[in-house]
Amino acid sequence: MAGKSGRPRQPVPTAKAASGSEEKLGDLPNYVGYMLRRAQLTVFQDFIQSLADFDLRPAQFSVLSVIEASPGLRQTEVANLLGIQRTNFVTLFDSLEGRGLAERKPSKEDRRSHSLYLTDAGRAYLRDVKASVDAHETRIAQQVGQDDYITLKRILGKLLVIC
């Protein structure tokens, strides 16, 4: 598993990119963390390009998706679901509310908290966005192949349980 001893290893040419630069990286590509980071950056880059017309960042998309699926959740609840600190969530949601895509409504039960909803405009906007996101997703599925696409998501799900 990524090598044990301190002696110099001959980097085994794994089934990886043939960009011609792997030999210089040493055993870095054998670490899951490194590969996860590089893969995530690549996928996010494609995601952002796919949504260039919409000017929507991945985090913003995730917020819209959650409050579409679960309207009425409190602000901190949405933040926690997405692993965003509630303090940083404020300006993030401000940007969506400022664009008229989502809105805060006072909660009836607890007057401290805000319930979050999509606006009608936000719902229509998200419908268009999702068409592009699904195209992006299809591109990735084709990149790795349908079987590995399913397998990848299954294994990634196992990794979240750590935290």
In the window 26-85, what residues touch a second copy (CB under 8 A)?
26-47, 58, 62, 65-66, 68-70, 73, 77, 81, 83
Site string for DNA, 84-123 (x = CB under 7 A): xxxxx-x-xxx---------x-----xxxxx---------
Based on CB atoms, which residue is closest to DNA, 99 or 114?
114
Name 121's Cβ contacts closer than 8 Å, sequence gap at least 6: 100, 101
87 sits near a second copy (criterion: CB under 8 A): no
Question: Using CB under 7 A, which residues numbered 49 to 88 contact DNA?
Answer: 57-59, 74-77, 84-88
Place of tokens 């929507």: 56
| Distances, alpha carbon 135 to alpha carbons 5, 50, 84, in Å | 44, 8, 26
Q: How far apart are CA 86 and CA 33, in angstroms?
A: 26
C-alpha atoms less than 13 angstroms from C-alpha of 158 in its C-beta half-sphere: 4
Question: Using CB under 7 A, which residues numbered 122 to 161 contact DNA?
Answer: none
Question: Using CB under 8 A, which residues numbered 103 to 162 contact a second copy?
Answer: 123, 127, 130, 133-134, 136-138, 140-141, 143-145, 148-149, 151-162
Q: Find the helix or strand (DSSP H, E) in which 104 lies.
A: strand 102-106
Token pair recorded at residue 43: 């996928």
Residues that bind DNA (CB under 7 A): 41, 57-59, 74-77, 84-88, 90, 92-94, 104, 110-114
